[in-house]
Amino acid sequence: MIAIADYGRGNLWSVQNGFARVGAQVQISPDPAVVRRADAVIFPGVGAFRDCMQNLMASGMDQALLEVIAAGKPVLAICVGMQALLSESEEFGRTPGLGLFEGQVRRFPDTAPTSATPCKVPHMGWNQLQQQRACPLLTGIPDGAFTYFVHSYYVVPQDTAVVVATTDYSVEFASVLWRDNLYATQFHPEKSQQWGLRILQNFVTLSEGR
């Protein structure tokens, strides 16, 4: 069973519908015990980093996620869920994250470093994935594939070896992270049409092959 962790800060139904389109059944649950028992877990997130972390800790879902990851079960973090895996975010001052990837979450600059042209923040819409290394989550996804983003902050991991793909938007930022059983996308695969659905199918395959 694949569980979607419901801690009050994710677009849960869109994610569930995305998995339904690839023929997979998933269970949305606010119960950390259900998440612990799952074969694989989706960790979604929308909104502010600080609110995300507060809800995670208040619900007990933070400890459930840490236990699932430590047990070697596949976990897919999406958008702010991905950002929460980092050490801290500069949003609303410094807010600690889960610390599973050392590094920071930073706001996009209002202008690109090499240009005086203003950049619209948030980064919203379709953009390309530039693959840096092979990853099971991206099996069958061509280099340069377009996926759908909505975010004002981006992750800067200290260890570049965990970066699977990058995307350019005023700066080059990490858009897919991977280490062992932990996968993360800054974009929304459930909103990314053909290639997003393939990514969800790949995650289902990973959960079945565990």
Catalytic residue among 79, 88, 123, 151: 79
- Is 123 annotated in the active site? no
- Is 151 annotated in the active site? no
Q: Report the DSSP pairing between strands 2-5 and 26-29.
A: parallel
Q: Report the DSSP pairing between strands 75-78 and 182-185.
A: parallel
- Is 188 annotated in the active site? yes
Catalytic residue among 52, 123, 151, 190: 190
Q: Cβ contacts of residue 89 below 8 Å, gap of 6+? A: 49, 50, 83, 95, 97, 104, 105, 153
Catalytic residue among 91, 119, 188, 208: 188
Q: Report the DSSP pairing between strands 75-78 and 86-89.
A: unpaired
Q: What share of the chain is helix, strand, coil (3-state, %, to 5)?
A: 30, 35, 35
Q: Are 135 and 206 in contact (CB under 8 A)?
A: no
Using alpha carbons, select from 68, 192, 50 the residue that is nearest to residue 129.
192
**Interatomic CA distance for residues 83 and 17, integer angstroms:** 23
Q: Give the residue numbers marked as catalytic.
A: 79, 188, 190
